[in-house]
Structure 1
Amino acid sequence: MFSIDDEMAGLRVAKQELRGLMRQRLSNLSEESLLRQSNAATHALLSMPEYQNASRVGIYLSMPKGEICTGAIVRDAFAHHKQVFVPYLYKAPIRDQEKPQSVMDMVSLHSSSDWKDLNRDAWGIPTVAKSSIIGRQRVLGDDESDNETKKLDIIIMPGVAFDSGLSRLGHGKGFYDYFMQRYHTSKGGSMPLLVGLALDMQLLPEPQKVPIDTSDWQLDALVVGDSTFIRR
């Protein structure tokens, strides 16, 4: 008989195996394909009424390789006077063995120039400096109990793999899933529209499914670089 611990261990192995498979696939992705798919996914996302009507947009800032580029979306959001929020990683203020030590918030960018001036981290991702946080809006912040007015309309999310049922596999740190759990609690159950961006090779063919557990949040929509669009 399998225990819950055995089941969780098997799930972790399945996730790691899928991440390894995706890393291998993405290693063969050409710059031309990345550019073409990023343009197609961006065009599809910008046509979504929910994006067009959004005032407060959360969005990942992309790595140079291996995922849909989001630069054109950031530029469009500022051009249409939207407030743009991007991931910020920091040490959790209260240490708890049951919770991750490093957590994610989303913080505001002031302008397109502010975005362009961000330094890149070890993965080549434009990253907000800790020294600038005091001058930015934070969606959650250290005090997550009084954030009713700090809602987002949409969050545009990265991932390693996706399936047609709108399940998402992240990089394994749990930053987005834990952020969304805290967001859900602090906003009284309200959630923004969760939209994933995927390269065509990141969407698993039917009937394959992303291995998930109860802590993994599902998407509301998925935009793929081959122009596939999936939503609830």
Structure 2
Amino acid sequence: MSLSRTASLVERKRLMRALIKTRLSAIPLAVLEEQSRHIASHLLESKCFKESKSISCFLSMAGEVNSWGIGLAILEAGKQLFVPKIIKGKNSHIEMLRVYDKEDLETLPAGVWGIREPDLTWRNGRRASAFDESSSLDLVLLPGIAFDRSMSRIGYGKGYYDRFLTTYHNQPHRAKDIRPQLVALGFDEQVVDAGEIPTEDHDWKLDGIVTSQGFTWPSPDTANTR
């Protein structure tokens, strides 16, 4: 489906979200669960996962690729796991906070939208944040509603990930030529043709998308150079 180029960008994004939600609602839960297992397998067997020492992974909610097994696999592989926490306020944003072990992951409380989130403290101490000067992410696993083959992404409309990535990348102590790989996890039905997703200047391009069919990587002319 090609959305009208005459519609406003906001309207095109709204229509794309509605289209993908309708697609997903027609798919049996068992099929989506099977896709999630294949997606996790493809990711965990990939070079980008194996070579990463510090990984940010969203904790899934209903309607998303199940990422819980991935979070556990990150910890079991001896890698550092960071998961998002929504910080509400005048300038709501997400922080990526470290989850230290399996017990810590499995006892995280429910936060905004019922998603499991870490508290700001752990064992009476401050949790490490990806914003800390001593932290450096190698791989960021992103959720979303829709992705296209030119590596564009539509989230839930809050802009949390784009703002996080911009803030993280612009920290004074970050080397500007080094940044984490950005890989989305999506059901097959969430991926549309190249150029179908409307974008804005502040939107970050993905480095790859993992579906049940495997990895989709960008063509040379759409590679993320930011």
Shift of 1:130: 4.3
**Which ranges of structure 1 fall in alignment gaps of 5 or more residues?**
1-6, 96-100, 142-146
Shift of 1:167: 0.7
Which residue, out of 155, 165, 184, partners 2:140?
155
How far, CA to CA, are the matches of 2:117 and 2:194 in structure 1? 37
CA spacing shift, 1:218–1:85, aligned 2, 3 Å:
same
Q: Tell me the amino acid that sits aligned with residue 197 of structure 1.
A: L
Shift of 1:131: 5.4
CA spacing shift, 1:134–1:29, aligned 2, 3 Å:
farther
CA spacing shift, 1:106–1:122, aligned 2, 3 Å:
closer
TM-score, normalised on structure 2? Answer: 0.86
How far, CA to CA, are the matches of 2:30 and 2:14 in structure 1? 28
Counting only pairs closer than 5 Å after superposition, residues 1-232 of structure 1 correspond to structure 2 as 10-63=8-61, 65-91=62-88, 101-121=91-111, 123-130=113-120, 132=122, 135-140=126-131, 147=133, 149-186=134-171, 187-189=174-176, 190-204=178-192, 206=193, 209-225=196-212, 227-232=213-218
Shift of 1:91: 4.0
Identity %: 31
Task: Please state whether the residue corresponding to 1:119 is helix, strand or coil.
Answer: coil
How many residue pairs get aligned? The number is 209
Shift of 1:84: 0.2
Q: Residue deviations 1:103-133, cap 9 Å, x none? A: 1110100111111101223533211234559
TM-score, normalised on structure 1? Answer: 0.83
How far, CA to CA, are the matches of 1:27 and 1:16 in structure 2? 17
CA spacing shift, 1:30–1:124, aligned 2, 3 Å:
farther
- Contact between 1:183 and 1:191, CA under 8 Å: does it hold in 2? no
Shift of 1:161: 0.1
Task: Please state whether the residue corresponding to 2:86 is helix, strand or coil.
Answer: strand
How far, CA to CA, are the matches of 1:61 and 1:91 in structure 2? 18
